[in-house]
Amino acid sequence: MLKRKYLFVTALIILMVAGFTATSLTSYFVARDSLSSSISNQMLPLTSDNIYSEIQRDLLRPILISSVMASDTFVRDWAISGEEDAERIIAYLNEIQRQYDTITAFYVSDETRQYYHPSGILRQVSSDDPQDAWYFRVRDTRDDYEINIDTDTADSSRVSIFINYKVQDYDGRYIGATGVGLSVQAVTHLIDTYQERYDRTIYFVDRQGNVTLTGRGYQGPNRLQERANFSLHATQILSSPSTSLEITDNVGNHSYLNSRLVPEFNWYLIVEQSNAASEQRLDNTLINNLALSGAIMILVLLAAHFTLRSYQRRLEQMATTDQLTGVANRHLFESIFEHMSKSLPRYARPVSLITIDIDHFKLVNDTHGHNAGDMVLQAVATVIKENIRDSDSLCRWGGEEFVLLLDRCTSDEALILAGKIGNAVKNHNVALGRQAIQVTLSMGVTQYHPGEPLDRMIARADAALYEAKESGRDRVVLAN
């Protein structure tokens, strides 16, 4: 019985561990895949779209201003007429800077190479001066404008973002370049705002992979190609209008990247999100689930243990106890006798046995019914137990017959006890409605002979019991 219990508990543990582990791990990996798919295919592209929309609002405005300046009839007429009265263009640039809140506005004439600024004529640009390379690059480009990060001509300590726009006469001939400048710090602040709002790393790269604009927290290399294990990814980013990638670094950390070409800048907007925090939350959830599963498993095992123990006790009681009277059955009595007989060679002592039979029990059943007979059996068993020691063993042998095994008891002592039990039963009335049933006992007493089996001892006591019945019942007879 105990072995089966352990097998059941072991099987239950294995099933629960396998079930909880499989469920938790399946949920964990499904959640990871779902998270990866959600970040790569939905969250980052959506963030990129939102940022691009805000860039159009915040950063493309200077391009529109420069476009308006390049097509302004005043600028073109003033340049074509020979750039007379420089104060007029200076006042115009001052008004542009004031009205649109830019850090600078400028016009460079291709005819005179004069650099006009809200503060006046700063200098003449020269093809021999590296500082003026931007101007000749704009003059020779096929595009209408370029975006350039460069040192401000008016303030060499300040780096600015310039929108350099071509100015053409009414016949389409190049006559100069105009535009406005933005503070790099202002644009960096915009990127910082995006990063804080969306909890992503945001930066821009040009067509060659050079990092052009970043937020304050950027710690990556200055070129995409310099990033570890990133050469193939860099090629894919710089050759596609938009790309979504999952990236694994040297230590196994996962991150996700979305790139999008911003045609107005000719730069790529890069939005990155590290998966470390999300994976850590998933790992913590997995650990919590496993811990919860372990706690549930312990509770189930405890419940199973107490339930099994309760059932085991009930089964043992049913297997060893007479259900009606609550005394030992024959199976348990035989085990008790076997255990006692094995100890006698080492610890010699007298042992006696009494067989007990209820007189005229059949008459009780026939007269009052079987329910009354059951009540009589229960009453007799109760009276006997009240008059014996805890070390004595009472057994319902069958029907109305009981057997009483008395350890450390001689036959003479057993005779005295039998008489006491007989008197107690005779004086005990079993109430049945308004009637009272009185019964007597016939008993046979014998003492154990060393080495004899139980059936021989029972047979000897039964012979004495038979003699008691033949002699008129309600008496005790000692076996020869």
Instruction: Give 377-432 as a DSSP string.
Output: HHHHHHHHHHTS-TTSEEEEEETTEEEEEEET--HHHHHHHHHHHHHHHHT--EEE
Task: Give 59-78 pLDDT, tens digit per residue.
Answer: 678 888 999 999 999 999 99
pLDDT at 283: 66
User: Is residue 181 within 8 Å of 134, Cβ to Cβ?
Assistant: no
Q: Encoding tokens for residue 260? A: 């999008």
Does 452 participate in catalysis according to the annotation? no
Burial class (CB in 10 A: 0-12, 13-18, 19+), 318: exposed
Region 372-382: mean pLDDT is 94
Distance separating alpha carbons of residues 429 and 410, to the nearest angstrom: 30
How many C-beta neighbours within 10 Å does residue 362 have?
Answer: 11
CA angle 64, 68, 70 (to 5 degrees): 115
Look at 212-216, 338-342, 373-377, 382-386 and tell me which has the smallest mean pLDDT. 212-216
- 3-class secondary structure, 394: strand
- 3-class secondary structure, 106: strand
Active-site residue among 264, 400, 401, 467?
400
Most confident of 161-170, 237-246, 284-293: 161-170
Task: Give 276-333 pLDDT, tens digit per residue.
Answer: 555 566 667 768 777 787 778 788 777 776 666 666 666 556 667 898 999 999 999 9
Distance separating alpha carbons of residues 473 and 477, to the nearest angstrom: 10
- In the chain, what are the helix, strand and coil shares in percent, each to the nearest 5? 50, 25, 25
User: Is residue 154 within 8 Å of 104, Cβ to Cβ?
Assistant: yes
Q: Encoding tokens for residue 263? A: 């045609």
**DSSP code string of 36-83:** HHHIIIIIHHHHHHHHHHHHHHHTSHHHHHHHHHHH-HHHHHHHHTT-
pLDDT at 192: 85
Task: Give 121-157 pLDDT, tens digit per residue.
Answer: 999 999 999 889 999 999 999 989 988 777 656 665 5
